[in-house]
Amino acid sequence: MAKIKSFAELKKIKEQVQTRVELREKGENINDLIQIKVAMATCGIASGAREIMNYMIDELASEGVDNVVITQTGCMGYCYAEPTIEVTIPGKESVIYGDVTEAKALEIIQKHIVNGEMVDGIIPATHKTIE
Amino acid sequence: MSVKTDLTETKFNELEAYMETIPVKKGELIRVLHKAQGIFGYLPEEVQKYVAKKMNVSTAKVFGVVSFYSYFTMKPKGEHDIAICLGTACYVRGAEKILDAIKRETGIEVGETSADGKFSITGLRCVGACGLAPVVMVNDKVYGRLTADMIKGIIDNYR
Amino acid sequence: MANYNTHVLVCGGTGCISAESDLIIENIEKQLVEEGMADSVQVLKTGCFGFCEKGPIVKILPDNTFYVQVTPDDATELVKEHIVKGRKVERLLFTDPETKEKVSDSKNMDFYKKQLRIALRNCGIIDPDKIEDYIARDGYSALGKVLTEMTQDELIDIMKASGLRGRGGGGFPTGLKWNFAKGYASDQKYVICNADEGDPGAFMDRSILEGDPHSIVEAMAINGYAIGATIGKVYIRAEYPLAIKRLEKAIDDAREYGLLGEDIMGTGFNFDIDLTYGAGAFVCGEETALIHSMEGERGEPTTKPPFPAESGYWGKPTNVNNVETFANVPVIILKGADWFASIGSEKSKGTKVFALAGKINNVGLIEVPMGTTLREVIYDIGGGIKDGKKFKSVQTGGPSGGCLTAKDLDTPIDYDNLIAKGSMMGSGGMIVMDEDDCMVSVAKFYLQFTEEESCGKCTPCRVGTKRLSELLELITEGKGEMKHLDELKHLSRVIKDTALCGLGQTAPNPVLSTMEAFADEYLAHIKDGKCPAGQCKNLLEYKVLEDKCIGCTACARVCPVNCISGEVKKLHVIDQSACIKCGACMDKCKFDAIIKQ
């Protein structure tokens, strides 16, 4: 590590390392944030859920959307439509999208997450989760 | 038990080597004593005299410092040191009863070492594990949420 | 950088490490590798979460699930269920003691609701061994701001305006203290961090050092700039190996980043820090004694003035602050004096960290705004008294403090209120006692402590505390007389007035405050030969109740001195002459057939 030579340089480093604790800071206020759960059981992963998840994390970061947390979850039971993701906007019913591709993920981010408009690909939720 | 055999020349050499790494001796007595206790396990008269000579201070001054601080001990510890927390949190959660049980099991008092050199009891101020109070440490293992009837079983592990 | 989408935070405070939290981490990591998820889940060892009663704590983010009393064997299930399948492991969640409901988010726990974490802001969030984590949380920005935008006087003015007072016990305004040290010209000045936490039952400083060491490094450098010092020293207890390790790492990393050393951040300011180990002496919390100890001498105090600000370490101007005080400094710089001064009570600003312990449900490290009442601390945060017993007293201020009672429950906690009640803030130990605690014994406990810790320099403390503890010993043994009460009071006053340093002057506080609040208990010991709490061995007897004993022999088997006799299914009898009053029989009896009286 080269020595930090000015206050400006420290600020720059802070920006670079910011993401290290963002997730933890966000977690403190999780109920105010949009949550995306990616189903990541064996079949989900086999259908590319992990790639979708990583893609969404990168995409959200590059669009500068910071009010979202993405977590993985187990099989949601919609095996016919993997990869599936569940989007929950605070105070609203959560919706589940099936057969999510990168293009679909981008659409979900740009329309649903940013503007609150639902997009095609919603599958009927057949389960409720008790917390 | 002959404790003097612990005071080997190798150990004195190690201490001397350490002292040579400190260029200015002024004010460093406590640091040297920490190291000495780390090497010998305790600070008997011979070690105190040696330190005094090397540090160019009187033996009385070294003794004054050693006897002042509770961390320094002039008696060798047992093979297994049973350290009991006597902080307030442990006290109100019954540390006294635990201590009584330890004394009964080992037959020694706080600050003593058993005749066979197996056990010693040390009283600690606060381990900081107040959530586990009352707490006892044997060597470095921490036993928490103790009751007096658990003591025999714990000590038997080390017999 | 790996793309972590889940963070697992495991408490690495001494309390949780004692309960094998290292092994939990190891097992979680092993299981993650097995699941092929090691690159998407980050496992971190953080500082203390504060909720020591329920340790070890494991927190999983981003869904902020708070698991309590986790054992190494639970690691597999946590990974398989929570992390892989996204299902919470119900049995490891915290159960609200009142509603009996499971609470998964720590934000919804009473223990955390009333807390405001400023000094502990990073504990349980960052990895203390990673300077990047600290920088990401605005670390060293306060130092950068001070060095590039402020004069020494502007900085000191902010500290003064914030109203921050010393958290080590005395409560002296920090800004003023800095100003004194700045006022004396010298070729060399020193900044000393007092990390010699000696109050038995207080461990907040250690938790800060273990959980957020960089905040202390940064604050000391800021202090150095304020007073014109280039050398900082941390006087730390040798009994705190983990804190030492983390602090050493923090200092090394800061140096490597150019945040300590020469020409910090290109501003021309030089500052460096090293450690000096204490060796266990309570009196070294007093700043002149501490300085003598740092010079390799016996840690005996000297009269003030001269204050260390004028003549301290090696006779040079020195500023001494304790760990918690320093931990507040960077936040004050970044958020402003007004923000800090808006928290707390009129004369005590900000928050205070307390080590809540004793007979309370939620033992732990808490931080609350000054002015929070004892009731809120004990009942809301602390979850009330253990085992449904009755609250009797809370001891604050350690061996220098006093006992508060039920009538003080609604007193807002701050420096001045506690002193008015005959106690003091001290370093922040808060020991809760219930109906089973004998207050005479508590006073004796503290006096034995001060007697042992008295440095011996001045007579009132050296001899006085010994006499006090002897008198208390007589009373707890049932040999007390009425004249002893007057002697206790008189001697206490003499010690208060004549002892050389704070340790001696405050040593009688536990005696005076218990005598005042629990006079009847002293009288019961002396006049009736009874210990109402049933704690003083010489004043009580264990007895087997004839109508309840079924002759199960459990008591006889557990008795360590074999003084209980009786045949199977027949009444058992305790031989009073041989009984050592350990109480093992009473604990063992399932039929409540053994009582003490």
Average pLDDT, chain C: 92
Shortest Cα distance, chain C CAs vs residue A30, angstroms: 6
The residue count of chain A comes to 131
pLDDT band of C3, cuts 50, 70, 90: low
| CA dist., res. A75 & res. C85, Å (int) | 7
| CA dist., res. C327 & res. C514, Å (int) | 33
Residues paired with B122 in a beta bridge: B83
Residue A1 lies in a domain: no
pLDDT band of C35, cuts 50, 70, 90: confident
| CA dist., res. A131 & res. A127, Å (int) | 13
Residues paired with C373 in a beta bridge: C412
Domain range spanning residue B144?
80-156
Contact C399, C449 (CB under 8 A): yes
Element at C59 (helix H, strand E): strand C58-61
C483 token code pair: 């004249």
C334 token code pair: 């970044």
Residue A2 lies in a domain: no
Of the residues B24, B67, B130, the best mutation for testing chain C's interface (the one with the most C CB atoms within 10 Å of its CB) is B130
Which residue's structure tokens are 């009373």? C475
- Structural domain count, chain A: 1
**Same domain? B86 vs B144:** yes
Report the residue of chain B nearest C448, measured CA to CA: B86
What is the SS3 assignment for C458? coil
A124 token code pair: 């009927």
Same fold, C131-340 and C541-596: no
Cα C464 to the center of its chain, rounded Å: 27
Which residue's structure tokens are 């000579």? B53
Nearest to B64 by CA among C456, C302, C275: C456
> Which residues does A112 contact at the CB level (< 8 Å), separation at least 6?
A87, A95, A118, A119
pLDDT score at B2 = 40
**Same domain? B98 vs B145:** yes
Residue A89 lies in a domain: yes
| CA dist., res. C586 & res. C570, Å (int) | 17
Residue A7 lies in a domain: no
A-chain CB neighbours of C145 within 8 Å are 7
A-chain CB neighbours of C141 within 8 Å are 10-11, 14
pLDDT score at B1 = 39
Instruction: Report the share of chain A in percent with pLDDT over 90.
Output: 12
Residue A3 lies in a domain: no
Q: Given B26, B88, B97, which is nearest C583 (Cβ)?
A: B97
Contact A90, A40 (CB under 8 A): no
Q: Where do the H-state alpha helices sit in C371-453? A: 374-375, 415-420, 439-453
CATH of the domain at A116: 3.40.30.10
Which residue's structure tokens are 């312990």? C357
- Residue type at position B74: M
pLDDT score at A131 = 46
| CA dist., res. B48 & res. B61, Å (int) | 10
| CA dist., res. C66 & res. C107, Å (int) | 9
**Same domain? B32 vs B96:** no
For residue range C113-172, list pLDDT tens digits in order: 889 999 999 988 899 999 999 999 999 999 999 999 999 999 999 999 999 999 987 899
Instruction: Report the share of chain C in percent with pLDDT over 70.
Output: 99
**Same domain? B86 vs B55:** no
C331 token code pair: 């936040």
| CA dist., res. B17 & res. B30, Å (int) | 17
Of the residues B125, B140, B141, the best mutation for testing chain C's interface (the one with the most C CB atoms within 10 Å of its CB) is B125
**Same domain? B64 vs B96:** no
Cα C347 to the center of its chain, rounded Å: 23
Q: Given A6, A7, A69, which is nearest C62 (Cβ)?
A: A69
Residue B14 lies in a domain: yes
Contact C440, C478 (CB under 8 A): no
Domain ranges for chain C? 6-113, 131-340, 351-434, 439-528, 541-596
C425 token code pair: 């803030």
**Domain C439-528 sits in CATH 1.20.1440.230:** yes
Sequential DSSP letters for C472-536: HHHHHTT---HHHHHHHHHHHHHHHHH-SSHHHHHTTHHHHHHHHHTHHHHHIIIII---TTS--
Shortest Cα distance, chain C CAs vs residue B72, angstroms: 7
Residue B143 lies in a domain: yes
The mean pLDDT value for C204-233 works out to 96
**Same domain? B61 vs B84:** no
A-chain CB neighbours of C225 within 8 Å are none
Residue B21 lies in a domain: yes
Please indicate if any CB of chain C lies within 8 Å of the CB of A11: yes
| CA dist., res. C267 & res. A5, Å (int) | 8
**Same domain? B128 vs B84:** yes
Sequential DSSP letters for A87-115: EE-TTS--EEE-S--HHHHHHIIIIIIHH
Q: Which chains touch B (3 or more CB pairs under 8 A)?
A: C
Strand intervals (E) in C328-428: 351-358, 364-369, 391-396, 402-405
**Same domain? B46 vs B89:** no
pLDDT band of A129, cuts 50, 70, 90: low
Report the residue of chain A nearest C82, measured CA to CA: A73
For residue range C358-393, list pLDDT tens digits in order: 999 888 889 999 999 999 999 999 999 988 999 999
Contact C363, C52 (CB under 8 A): yes
C184 token code pair: 């004396």
What is the SS3 assignment for C234? strand
Cβ neighbourhood burial of C95 (10 Å; 0-12, 13-18, 19+): middle
What's A131's DSSP letter? -
Q: Kindly report the CATH class assigned to C131-340.
A: alpha beta
CATH of the domain at B63: 1.10.10
Highest mean predicted confidence (pLDDT) among C111-115, C241-245, C248-252: C248-252
C-chain CB neighbours of A73 within 8 Å are 85-86
Which CATH architecture is the domain C6-113 placed in?
3-Layer(aba) Sandwich (3.40)
Of the residues C35, C42, C61, the best mutation for testing chain A's interface (the one with the most A CB atoms within 10 Å of its CB) is C61
**Same domain? B84 vs B147:** yes
A-chain CB neighbours of C214 within 8 Å are none
Of the residues C298, C432, C514, C542, the best mutation for testing chain B's interface (the one with the most B CB atoms within 10 Å of its CB) is C298
Shortest Cα distance, chain B CAs vs residue C459, angstroms: 16
Strands A68-73 vs C429-434: parallel, antiparallel or unpaired: unpaired
- Structural domain count, chain B: 2
Q: Do A14 and C138 touch (CB under 8 A)?
A: yes
Domain range spanning residue A91?
30-123
pLDDT at C510 over 90: yes
| Topology of the domain comprising C541-596 | Alpha-Beta Plaits (3.30.70)
For residue range C299-313, list pLDDT tens digits in order: 999 988 999 999 999
Residue B32 lies in a domain: yes
**Same domain? B86 vs B141:** yes
Element at C355 (helix H, strand E): strand C351-358
For chains A and B, tell me whether 3 or more CB atom pairs sit within 8 A of each other.
Answer: no
Strands C318-322 vs C190-195: parallel, antiparallel or unpaired: parallel
For residue range A6-54, list pLDDT tens digits in order: 999 999 999 888 877 877 777 777 777 888 888 877 777 778 888 888 8
Nearest to C221 by CA among C212, C229, C210, C213: C229
| Topology of the domain comprising C351-434 | Ubiquitin-like (UB roll) (3.10.20)
Cα C385 to the center of its chain, rounded Å: 19
Q: What value, to the nearest 5°, has the Cα angle with vertex C453 and ends C449 and C458?
A: 125
| CA dist., res. C391 & res. C413, Å (int) | 18
Sequential DSSP letters for C272-284: EEEEEEE-S-GGG
Contact C279, B34 (CB under 8 A): yes
**Tens digits of pLDDT across chain B (159 residues):** 344 457 889 999 999 999 999 888 889 999 999 999 999 999 999 999 999 999 999 999 999 999 999 889 998 989 999 999 888 888 889 899 999 999 999 999 998 999 999 999 998 877 777 778 899 999 878 888 899 889 999 999 998
Q: Which chains touch C (3 or more CB pairs under 8 A)?
A: A, B
